[in-house]
C-alpha cells in the first residue's frame, strides 16, 4: 500500500521537477549572457575635460593663468573653468575650500583632484578626465600633461575630489551645457 501511494505521488513530482528544470535552463540562458554595463555620460563635464586636454603642452609658469603666458596648476584649472562661466578662487587651497567634496568613487570627468605635493594640504590641483587619469600643469615636466592617479607618487599624495558649483546651485556641468548651447547658437567660442 505504501509503495502504491508513493508511486502515485512520485509521477507528478517527477513531472514538476522536469518542468522546474526546463524553466531553470531557460532562465539560465538569459542570465548567461554578458551583462552590458551602461555608461552614464556627462557631456558637459566631458566637455570641460576635453577642453582641458586641448591645452596639453602649454608651458608651466608659476603664477600664470593663460595659454600664452603659461599656467601653474591652479591657474590652469581657473582658466579652464572660466571658459564655462565658473569663477574659482586663485589657489589650489582656496579651490578646495570653496568646492564641495565628492566621494572619490563617484568622480567623473571635470571634477577637481587635489594633492599634497609640498607638505601642505591642497598644494596641487588637476582636472579629472576619466580612467583614473587627470590633466594638470606640472612644474616638474614644465608643461600641461596627463598623469595617472594610479602612479605611486600621486596615490601617496592624493587628498580628494571636489566638484565646482555655481552660486545659484547649478553644477559646472549645467554651466558647460549652457556654454555649448550658446556656442552652437552663436557660432563663436
- Let me know: does 142 contact 148? Beta carbons within 8 Å: no
Asked about 183 being catalytic, the answer comes back as no
Asked about 136 being catalytic, the answer comes back as yes
Out of 30, 41, 136, 184, pick the active-site residue. 136
Q: Nearest CA to 89 among 102, 98, 76?
A: 98
Asked about 30 being catalytic, the answer comes back as no
Out of 30, 41, 124, 184, pick the active-site residue. 124
Encode pLDDT of 109-140 as tens digits: 999 999 999 999 999 999 999 999 999 999 99
Encode pLDDT of 6-57 as tens digits: 454 455 544 454 444 443 433 333 333 232 232 333 346 788 999 999 999 9
Question: For the whole model, what pTM was predicted?
Answer: 0.68
For residue 88, the SS3 value is coil
Percentage of the chain lying above the pLDDT 90 cut = 61
Amino acid at each position: 500500500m505504501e509503495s502504491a501511494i508513493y508511486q502515485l505521488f512520485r509521477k507528478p513530482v517527477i513531472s514538476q521537477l522536469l518542468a522546474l528544470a526546463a524553466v531553470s535552463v531557460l532562465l539560465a540562458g538569459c542570465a548567461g549572457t554578458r551583462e552590458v554595463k551602461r555608461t552614464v555620460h556627462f557631456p558637459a563635464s566631458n566637455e570641460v575635460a576635453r577642453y582641458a586636454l586641448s591645452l596639453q603642452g602649454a608651458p608651466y609658469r608659476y603664477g600664470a593663468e593663460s595659454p600664452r603666458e603659461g599656467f601653474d596648476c591652479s591657474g590652469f584649472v581657473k582658466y579652464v573653468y572660466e571658459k564655462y562661466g565658473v569663477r574659482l578662487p586663485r589657489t589650489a587651497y582656496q579651490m578646495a575650500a570653496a568646492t564641495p567634496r565628492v566621494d572619490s568613487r563617484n568622480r567623473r570627468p571635470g571634477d577637481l583632484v587635489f594633492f599634497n605635493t609640498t607638505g601642505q594640504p591642497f598644494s596641487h590641483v588637476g582636472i579629472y578626465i576619466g580612467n583614473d587619469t587627470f590633466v594638470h600643469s606640472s612644474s616638474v615636466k614644465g608643461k600641461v600633461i596627463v598623469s595617472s592617479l594610479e602612479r605611486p607618487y600621486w596615490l601617496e599624495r592624493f587628498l580628494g575630489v571636489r566638484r565646482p558649483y555655481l552660486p545659484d546651485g547649478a553644477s559646472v556641468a549645467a554651466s558647460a551645457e549652457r556654454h555649448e548651447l550658446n556656442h552652437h547658437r552663436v557660432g563663436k567660442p
